[in-house]
């Protein structure tokens, strides 16, 4: 191992170029067989659909090195089907789901020396993405598309790893009712950039978005779903048609109920209730589970009992169990790990 001479323990969440990436092209109504290439650059026509009208969707997943030395991915079939849903919503031809999973396996295999060692705290982040590649000037879908998968070794998404973060209630909305909040489209992230830069300037780590229609219900952050724990130990997560259906969150609900024997509920969560929760965290592939210590609502603070130093017990248990399954220390439900 360590053929790549990377300081795994000190990696941030950034781009490190790896050896190979997968590329497939869609033309004349069909996907070609695709190939692995060493070229990290994409050359596009100046009028490509993605450049003009942001016709692009993506996914995020990770490869982990387990305690017994295997390399695995976590539930890649769910990323495949979510990416197909995203593509359909933007009038793009989905990349076939079985081929998606195979392409993930092939791309990780081709970059196997970049999968960080077990216990290093780092993982190999995998970014499948797809975009309209032929010239489009009237507002309409492209006819040609490129699907790619890049990999990059990453450390924690939030500096400080598992220490609680501080978030603010955003003045901006992330997603409209009946809009695109439930898919993983680049456009959702483009419009969140001003909100996150503003939050960072004000000293916050992230934004809490409320529902755009009433601004009374909790939605999600720019890159993760919320989980809360009630004072009597029940796990609660917001239900909304305009948030991304997080694979981490869906998995945590199973972990909570079936492995930890906790009560767990997906329901609408009103912002007014948040002050009464005992624990709060963000969950996602990049965020894993990041505890939230404080929420600032226009100067009014909600401080969770955790303070700013440690995870509280239920979120800690969820974190330990989920990462235990992902790293092969704990047996998870059948089919959750895809061995590379």
Catalytic residue among 184, 217, 294, 338: 184
**Cβ atoms of residues 2 and 117 within 8 Å:** yes
**Cβ atoms of residues 82 and 59 within 8 Å:** yes
Q: Is 338 a catalytic residue?
A: no
**Cβ atoms of residues 235 and 314 within 8 Å:** yes
Residue 199 found at the interface with ligand PLP (CB under 6 A): no
CA distance 292 to 312: 10
Run of H or E residues at 124: strand 123-132
Residue 223 found at the interface with ligand COI (CB under 6 A): yes
Find the binding residues for ligand PLP in span 265-294 (CB under 6 A): 284-285
Residue 238 found at the interface with ligand PLP (CB under 6 A): no
Instruction: Indicate the residue among 133 and 192 with the shorter CB distance to ligand PLP.
Output: 192
Which of these, 82, 41, 24, 55, lies nearest to 285 by C-alpha position? 82
Instruction: Indicate the residue among 136 and 208 with the shorter CB distance to ligand PLP.
Output: 208
Residue 156 found at the interface with ligand PLP (CB under 6 A): no
CA distance 30 to 279: 48
* DSSP classification of residue 113: G
Which of these, 68, 194, 185, lies nearest to 129 by C-alpha position? 185
Stretch that binds ligand COI, among 2-10, 133-141, 144-152, 280-288 (CB under 6 A): 280-288
To the nearest 10°, report the CA torsion of 149, 150, 154, 159: -80
* DSSP classification of residue 182: T
CA distance 212 to 174: 7
| Residue 334, C-beta contacts closer than 8 angstroms, at least 6 positions apart | none
Binding partner at 225 among ligand COI, ligand PLP, none, C-beta below 5 to 8 Å by kind: ligand PLP
Identify the residue among 111, 188, 207, 285 touching ligand COI (CB under 6 A): 285
Instruction: Indicate the residue among 100 and 136 with the shorter CB distance to ligand COI.
Output: 100
Instruction: Indicate the residue among 24 and 126 with the shorter CB distance to ligand COI.
Output: 126
Residue 286 found at the interface with ligand COI (CB under 6 A): yes
Residue 244 found at the interface with ligand PLP (CB under 6 A): yes
* DSSP classification of residue 57: E
Stretch that binds ligand PLP, among 36-44, 46-54, 226-234, 242-250 (CB under 6 A): 242-250
CA distance 243 to 155: 25
Site string for ligand COI, 37-66 (x = CB under 6 A): -----------------------x------
Instruction: Indicate the residue among 93 and 223 with the shorter CB distance to ligand COI.
Output: 223
Stretch that binds ligand PLP, among 64-72, 123-131, 233-241, 247-255 (CB under 6 A): 247-255
- Interface residues toward ligand COI, by CB under 6 A: 60, 223, 284-286
């Amino acid at each position: 191992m360590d053929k790549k001479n990377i300081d795994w323990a000190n990696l941030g969440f950034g781009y490190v170029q790896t050896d190979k990436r997968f590329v497939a092209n869609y033309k004349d109504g069909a996907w070609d067989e695709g190939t692995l290439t060493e070229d990290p650059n994409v050359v596009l026509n100046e009028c490509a659909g993605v450049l003009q009208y942001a016709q692009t969707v993506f996914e995020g997943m990770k490869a982990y090195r387990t305690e017994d030395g295997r390399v695995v991915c976590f539930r890649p079939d769910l990323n495949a089907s979510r990416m197909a849903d995203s593509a359909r919503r933007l009038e793009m031809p989905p990349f076939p789901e079985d081929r998606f999973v195979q392409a993930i396996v092939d791309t990780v295999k081709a970059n196997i020396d970049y999968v960080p060692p077990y216990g290093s705290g780092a993982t190999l982040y995998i970014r499948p993405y797809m975009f309209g590649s032929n010239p489009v000037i009237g507002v309409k879908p492209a006819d040609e598309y490129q699907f790619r998968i890049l990999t990059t070794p990453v450390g924690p998404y939030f500096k400080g790893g598992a220490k609680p973060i501080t978030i603010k209630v955003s003045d901006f909305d992330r997603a409209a009712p009946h809009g695109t909040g439930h898919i993983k489209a680049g456009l959702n992230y483009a419009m969140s950039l001003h909100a996150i830069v503003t939050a960072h300037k004000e000293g916050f780590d992230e934004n809490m978005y409320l529902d755009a229609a009433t601004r009374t219900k909790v939605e999600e952050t720019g890159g993760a779903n919320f989980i809360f724990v009630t004072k009597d130990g029940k796990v609660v997560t917001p239900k909304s048609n305009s948030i991304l259906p997080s694979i981490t969150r869906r998995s945590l609900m199973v972990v909570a109920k079936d492995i930890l024997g906790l009560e767990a509920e997906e329901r609408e969560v009103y912002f007014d209730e948040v002050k009464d929760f005992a624990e709060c965290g963000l969950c996602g592939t990049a965020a894993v589970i990041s505890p939230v210590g404080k929420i600032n609502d226009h100067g009014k603070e909600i401080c969770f009992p955790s303070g700013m130093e440690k995870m509280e017990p239920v979120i800690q248990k969820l974190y330990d169990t989920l990462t235990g399954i992902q790293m092969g220390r704990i047996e998870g439900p059948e089919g959750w790990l895809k061995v590379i």
